[in-house]
Structure 1
Amino acid sequence: MPVPTVPEISLHKAGPKSGLWRLAEMDRKFGTPYWAHHWGGGLALARYVLDHSEIVSGRSLLDLGAGSGLVGIAAAKAGARTVTCADTDTYAVAMTQLNAAINGVHVATVLGDLTAGAPPDVETVLVGDLFYERDLARRVTAFLDRCLGAGIDVLIGDPWRAFLPQTRLRLLAEYPGPDFGDGGGTAHRSNAVFAFTAEARDFT
């Protein structure tokens, strides 16, 4: 049986004709659109959710750090009861809404950093690519700990970045595929999906 690769995901994405670029030209605070790129962890997590719809079907979910909404939209297409996509970037939220409409699904959106707050009222949290910077990784890990304490399941997609809390993870799947910054997607690495656990594990 061939190993599935993350580019096989068939979700539609808003492109240059969406008109979002016109908003960017008018806003000096537009910044770098990291949300406009496919990141390896999000690709892997979306692929895993689509391949294992039973883990999200009928459940309420939060896509934390949603970017363009890829993971949350995949969960909605896989049968999630409700999906909330949260990001700190105004344009990421706008892109998520556009992409959800293009894919014919409904997702709620939240603008803001949820990591400092209480666990959300959901059954599952999906996290793609939020462990690329030390302080962010610490905040996200602490938030996910509170989620576990509230009985919420947590799934993480990441290409084994430096600040990933590896001892807290159970590997579920790996997919070869591109990651953000790989120069147009020509380079490939192992993009992994994990369950976040309460107890430390030995990854040696």
Structure 2
Amino acid sequence: MTFSVPLDQRLAFVRANTALAAVPFVPELSIFTATEVTPLWQATGEWLGARGLDVPFWSVPWAGGQGLARWVLDHPEAVRGKRVLDFGSGSGLVAIAAVRAGASTVRAVDVDPLAEAACRLNAEANRVAFEAACTDVVGTSLEGIDVLLAGDVWYERAASERFAAWLSNVVASGVRVVTGDPARLYVPRNVHELARYDVPTPLELESAPTRMTRILELMQASNESTTASR
């Protein structure tokens, strides 16, 4: 996948519009964060739109990602010595946690080219190393992956249906899939709950100071479906 914005410009944009800050629910890790989310999104809309880039979801630690990163650090045996893919990585928070927990290799992927830049900067800031790529892996077979981690990815119906169908096949292939879900509408039904946390969230994002976030393992099922029951 190619982009019109060179990596050095994307790196400069992330640095200029965020500040390195500890993650509220995972304070041992820090990421480049937009301290005033709404002004950033409004002020950068023209810059992003002119370059074909998306809303900067990578600029804040979403509840699902925070919860999943916390779970990985608290349960390092889930990834220790394993090959990990951080899917829909955003800032790379979950990838950083996986490296810290002892994963043998970690790859972070996101379709937003600014997320790739944020991952690179956040990896450096946390003194870890992992591969970051801007690519769409949905629908592909995952060779050389033992565990797929997906933070906060279940908030849009069409995308969630696409993810769920693919991840059902991924689970069937023997890859463990674990996701963080702060009660999004379109999380798959065929899941096993591993943990739940009350995760701090910015009011301007979630209209609440915390979100109850479940850590879920996707299970193999013959008919994949999503739910809007909550």
Q: Note whether the superposition's TM-score is higher than 0.5.
A: yes
- Aligned-residue RMSD, C-alpha: 2.5
* Residue of structure 2 aligned with 1:147, choices 145, 166, 170: 170
DSSP 3-state at the match of 1:9: strand
* Residue of structure 1 aligned with 2:203, choices 164, 178, 182: 182
- TM-fit CA distance, 1:136: 0.6
- Matched residue type, 2:90: G
Q: Which has the higher contact order (CA 8 A, sep 6+)?
A: 1
Alignment of 1:97-176 (within 5 A): 97-165=120-188, 167-176=189-198
- Matched residue type, 1:183: E
For residues 54 and 149 of structure 1, the distance between their equivalents in structure 2, rounded to whole angstroms, comes to: 21
Conservation of the 8 A alpha-carbon contact between 2:26 and 2:66: no
Structure 1 unaligned residues grouped into runs of 5+: 1-5
DSSP 3-state at the match of 1:129: coil
Alignment of 1:7-86 (within 5 A): 7-14=25-32, 28-29=50-51, 30-86=53-109
Structure 2 unaligned residues grouped into runs of 5+: 1-23, 35-39, 224-228
TM-score by length of 2: 0.75
Q: How many residues align?
A: 190
TM-score by length of 1: 0.84
Conservation of the 8 A alpha-carbon contact between 1:174 and 1:190: yes
DSSP 3-state at the match of 1:162: coil
For residues 15 and 34 of structure 1, the distance between their equivalents in structure 2, rounded to whole angstroms, comes to: 10
Between the aligned residues of both structures, percent identity stands at 34
DSSP 3-state at the match of 2:31: coil
| Alignment CA distance shift 1:14-1:164 (3 Å) | same
Residue in structure 2 matched with residue 3 of structure 1 by the alignment? none
| Alignment CA distance shift 1:113-1:80 (3 Å) | same
- TM-fit CA distance, 1:95: 0.5
DSSP 3-state at the match of 1:10: strand
| Alignment CA distance shift 1:34-1:15 (3 Å) | closer
For residues 62 and 8 of structure 1, the distance between their equivalents in structure 2, rounded to whole angstroms, comes to: 20
For residues 8 and 91 of structure 1, the distance between their equivalents in structure 2, rounded to whole angstroms, comes to: 22
Conservation of the 8 A alpha-carbon contact between 2:33 and 2:59: no
DSSP 3-state at the match of 2:71: helix
Conservation of the 8 A alpha-carbon contact between 1:39 and 1:178: no
| Alignment CA distance shift 1:129-1:15 (3 Å) | closer
Any idea what the Cα deviations from partners look like across 1:68-111, whole Å, max 9, x if unmatched?
00001100011100000000011100100110011111111121
